Amino acid sequence: MGYSPERINPSDKEHSVANTKKVTSGSTPKAAAFVDRLYRSVLLNGTYKASSIKVAETCKMMENCQRDVLIAFANEMLGICQTLGIDFDEANKGSATKWNYVKMNPGFVGGHCIAVDPYYMIDKASAAGYNPTLLKSARRLNSKMAPKFARRVIVDIKSRGLSVGKSRVLLLGFSFKANCQDIRNTRAYDIYEMMHRYTHHITIYDPHVNADKVRGEYGVDVETDEDSLSIEGYDAVVVCTLHSIFRNPQKWLRKGGKVYTLKNV
């Protein structure tokens, strides 16, 4: 048997299957050599042949665990900067002028890879007697980001002297990642679920997703046509997924309304 872990990045136009180096492996040296030769015959940047299937799968786990940890770091620094009244973007940009600083943006971690794979690694390590504290901390922090963000939006709406229960709210984006249609493990639902406890006047808009699939999997309705949105505008426009088409969310506000993103709530 041959094995090569998936390395596709949804909605990424730059890193395709063809130009991404692949990790390959096999259950025997002969199988590993065959699979490696097959992939090298079609890939532009070649392969990395691992010594075993277990090593190849660990490569996949490490890639996604690292992403989870780095996003958790960015989310942590965002929270610290907001608390101290510091511009996160400016500090992040300044830090990136050093050669070994890894610039990351904060965000909601969903989908079927980065938000899932660390649990496999945590479980396997724990069963073997190792306590992966960093991976656990990153998972806790990232999994709480969406509901924490939604609660802060609710508090801010109240601080504006509005009745949350009567406020009209527009949630922009339902897929787990910008500019893609994948709704698996989306954190946008966490935001909706938290805000729905306080107001039922919520509209979700995402032209990228399949509304029937969203309704079947999550039990909520999503508008995919902009003409279906209220012409009166909304008291709060909450950006859940930053699709390119949402670069000007202010256009959906009513007078006195406010746009909320992770960085400016």
Q: CA–CA separation, 257 vs 238, rounded Å?
A: 11
Q: Is 59 a catalytic residue?
A: no
Residues 119 and 139: beta-carbon distance below 8 Å: yes
- Catalytic-labelled residue, pool 65, 81, 113, 240: 113
Report which residue type is found at 1. Answer: M
- Grouping H, G, I as helix, E, B as strand and the rest as coil, residue 59 is helix
Q: Is the dihedral of CA 220, 225, 226, 230 positive or negative?
A: negative
Provide the terminal-to-terminal Cα distance of the chain, rounded to the nearest Å: 51
CA distance readout (Å), 262 to 42, 107, 109: 41, 7, 12
* Residue with the two structure tokens 């500090």: 91
Length of the chain: 265
Q: CA–CA separation, 8 vs 111, rounded Å?
A: 13
Report which residue type is found at 177. Answer: K
Please give the structure tokens belonging to residue 156: 């801010």
Cα 54–chain centre separation: 27
Phi/psi of residue 236, each to 5°? -140, 125
Please give the structure tokens belonging to residue 43: 């890939």
Q: Is the dihedral of CA 245, 241, 64, 77 positive or negative?
A: positive
Please give the structure tokens belonging to residue 239: 């950006």
So which residues are the catalytic ones?
A: 113
